[in-house]
Structure 1
Amino acid sequence: IMPYNSTFFPNMLEHYDQDIAAVKMKVLSAEAFVPECTDHTRVLRPCRELCERVLSDCSRDMLTFGISWPSELQCDR
């Protein structure tokens, strides 16, 4: 949760609304940090394809702003 309640669009990444900003990232982060459990014994991790797609989609902007991909979201896990 952000410590503010207002923002502006288009933002620095040229997103014109919140829907464009991070649809796939929301799914990936939810699956990584709040994973589904099955039969109380198995944790379902995000699929590699989704992780690689989000990394690919975000890499240009991450380089622009000097942001590193979080170690918790490494796609080979």
Structure 2
Amino acid sequence: MFGRVIKSLVFTTDIAIIRNCNADAVMAVYPFTPQPIITDAIVASSDKPVFSGVGGGTTRGPRVIGLAMDASVKEHTVLS
């Protein structure tokens, strides 16, 4: 991913942990309806690749497609 080998992931949305961990990438998934501003803040704070969730549970259909397209345009890696 981006020329890096990913051997470890940190599973969090806490920016303090993201900034101060030794993981190779961030998996940012949370149990609420995804919002682009949250993903943008995590990506802006991280110096590592970020995998972010865009749907599942009650978030489906056109909303998921829109979130995934937004993340894709901003070069985020998305999980659904």
TM-score (norm 1): 0.30
Could you say which structure has the higher strand fraction? 2
Could you say which structure has the higher helix fraction? 1
Whose RCO is larger (CA < 8 A, sep 6+)? 2
TM-score (norm 2): 0.30
Of structures 1 and 2, the larger Rg is shown by 1
